[in-house]
Amino acid sequence: MADVLAAVSRPFHHTARMLHRALHRALLPILAIALVVASCSSGDGEGSEADGEAAPSSSASPSSSAPGAADDVEFTFQGEQAAPDFPAGLTWFNVERPLSLAQDLRGKVVLLDFWTQGCINCLHVIPDLHRLEEEFADELVVVGVHWAKFDRERTDEAIEQAVRRNGVTHPVVNDAASRIAEAYGARAWPTLILIDPDGRVVGGHAGEGAYDVFHDPIATMVEEFGTAGRIDDAPLDDVLARPAPTPAVLSFPGDVLADETGGRLFIADTGRDRILEATLEGELVRAIGSGEPGLTDGAVADAQFRAPQGLSLSEDGAILYVADRENHAVRAVDLAAGEVTTIAGTGEQGFAVTEDGPATEISVPSPWDVLAVGDAVYIAGAGRHQLYLVDLASGRLERFAGSGAEGIDDGPPLDGTLSQPSGLATDGEWLWFTDPEASAVRRLPLDGSGELETIVGTGLFDWGDTVGPLADTRLQHATGIEIVNDFVVVADTYNNRLKVLDVAGGQSQGWAGDGMSGFRDGAATGARFAEPAGLSATSTTLYVADTNNHQIRTIDPSTAEVGTLELTNLDVAAQASIGELADQVRLSPQQVAPGPMTLEIGYELPDGYKLNGEGTFTMAWTAEGTALTPAGPAEVAAKAPALPVRFDAIASEGETVVQAEGTVYYCLVDNEGFCLIRDVSFEVPVEVVEGAGSTVTASHALPDGEALGIEVD
């Protein structure tokens, strides 16, 4: 296999040089949008966010029709250089098998999206791609080329989770060795390359704004190539695979907030677009938000969020502030009145560096965290590498730090450069924050009177997993931060660890996690996490949003024991519809005799698991026509019922199809904190004939955590 890959890579490098030259011949700069803050450098010295340069530059070449095209068709956008095909041996996601430009995508307009999961500019492009895919559903195929920056991002496991976490539904390929990126001359994240239906490169664009850049060229290509009979509008349904839904009660929780005074715990259930309120012991109290993505204020049951991330409470505990990341807004929840309002952001991402002004009239791209202190709310503005402050009395938003350029320059706060600030914390004197793209921990005086300082971190492309003197400490895309007993605790996200910084002593040490991605409780140094993020501490417990494990973990600082918070009263979580069927089970036809009969529906639990009595098991069935009719209740809702559940029915001559749908909660026998949830549908064709039996059965083997991508130890 190594020889085959080497053979494939040789023409790739040659083609890359030709493509690089072709992409810079901007004969028609219709795709050009110059944005200083809309792309991230790949670190090779050929492009940087700070100076606004990125290669390949936006370009497209007009052309007359190629030989063989209809005589009366002239193509506005047609490539000259053949697009290199994808090399063999790479891992693909959202497809049943690897794709080929020549064999699978000829006749399609193809848009390659070179992205990496930790880059905020790349995340900003995803909604634009979804819009294009919806508008050109039959003619356009988007292929995400995951071209990693960090070591963690090169792993198949991390990419699979990122695809699900970010709602990416189009095909994605892991370009771990940068072979595809080199072939197309990509120099910055994100870079997008447009390929015509004949398999030739039309042009490229580095940065955000993909919808505005590519919509008209794609529409023109669809019309002109369609007129020439060179568009294949057949769907790729036989190749595409549906992304698996989140298997747990929580979905990619991004943050957790502990209120020791009020005995409350708030969880940003990011993947389900809501916040859950619970007790500190894990008993769910209510859902804040309907669970449907959107931007709607009002009653907590009806309000809508979109991937809420950071959380903070007002000092009196009355208002919960939410960094509503994908809505590019900051929301306020009046917990007593049960009302949600918007206090910052317009709901639009915007493309310019954020300036001062009325908070609800200014774009706040991708707020990642919030911190309420007195009459102010600090915002980690990851989308434009800035920190903001909202004065609650005046409703005015002001820049607190960051010029808008990406970097790790210290000094006067508004002149300094930040790199996707994410987590916020304070010790009463300093505002501490993480800068994930520089794998850094930084601070500045809370009152804004001093300068910006870097405590850990040296550059955008310096990362690792070391402890010791702070100057030698290395992190990898750290996001969460909290102050615990005068120490700074950092969620070293891509290293799957928590680290402690003793700033006064100038030292760091590993605290929890062995560095391997997985799920394991026990002694802190042997425990395992999967991209931990938000942190929040009481006097006795540190709560951890263990994002890719879909769990809230706990650490006892006095014993350094890691546990998993057992969520109870799970029906609260079910109030917001999951809206996805995890498994669709179609069974072989069965026969049953006329007269009274029994329908048995059940599950086979994996070894080491049991039904969870904290969530309501549901099952309901229907049948077409009159061949099977209920002779009693046709649905059940119970806590951990005996399996299988049985329904009485009357069978009459004829044929029908039994359809049943239900929800089941199940958890580990020895760790009820680790629970899974599945929405399952059954379909059973039934024929009623004399002499057959009196029972129709339907059963499904439920997957364990490892089968769902969670490494449970």
In SS3 terms, 568-620 reads as ECCHHHHCCCCCCCCEEEECCCEEECCEEEEEEEEEECCCCEEECCCCEEEEE
- Asked if residue 47 has pLDDT above 80, the reply is no
- Asked if residue 53 has pLDDT above 50, the reply is no
- Asked if residue 127 has pLDDT above 60, the reply is yes
Which residue, chain included where needed, has tokens 């290509």? 221
Overall average pLDDT of the 353-365 stretch: 91
CA 608 to chain centre: 29
What CATH superfamily classification does 2-227 receive? Glutaredoxin (3.40.30.10)
Residue 8 or residue 310, greater confidence: 310
- Asked if residue 212 has pLDDT above 90, the reply is yes
What is the pTM assigned to this prediction?
0.88
Overall average pLDDT of the 298-304 stretch: 97
Overall average pLDDT of the 150-166 stretch: 96
Which residue, chain included where needed, has tokens 């940087």? 48
pLDDT in tens, 169-185: 999 999 999 999 999 99
Q: What percent of the chain has pLDDT over 70?
A: 89
Per DSSP, the three-state class of 560 is coil
Mean of per-residue pLDDT scores for the chain: 89
- Alpha-carbon Rg of the chain, whole angstroms? 27
Q: How confident is the model at residue 245 (pLDDT cuts 50, 70, 90)?
A: confident
Contact predicate 385/418, CB 8 Å:
yes
Residues with Cβ within 8 Å of residue 337, at least 6 apart in sequence = none
Q: Catalogue the E-assigned strands of 270-404.
A: 274-279, 284-288, 298-299, 308-313, 319-324, 329-334, 339-344, 357-358, 367-373, 376-381, 386-391, 396-401
Ramachandran angles phi, psi of 340, nearest 5°: -115, 135
What pLDDT sits at residue 584? 87
Contact predicate 423/491, CB 8 Å:
yes
Overall average pLDDT of the 514-526 stretch: 95
- Asked if residue 7 has pLDDT above 50, the reply is no
Which of these ranges, 105-119, 254-268, 395-409, 672-686, has the smallest mean pLDDT?
Answer: 672-686
Q: Which two tokens stand for residue 551?
A: 């769990």
Kindly indicate whether the domain formed by 255-574 is annotated with CATH number 3.40.50.300: no
Q: How confident is the model at residue 581 (pLDDT cuts 50, 70, 90)?
A: low
Q: Is the peptide bond before 56 cis (omega within 30 degrees of 0)?
A: yes
Overall average pLDDT of the 304-320 stretch: 98
Containing 15, the helix (H) or strand (E) segment is: helix 2-23
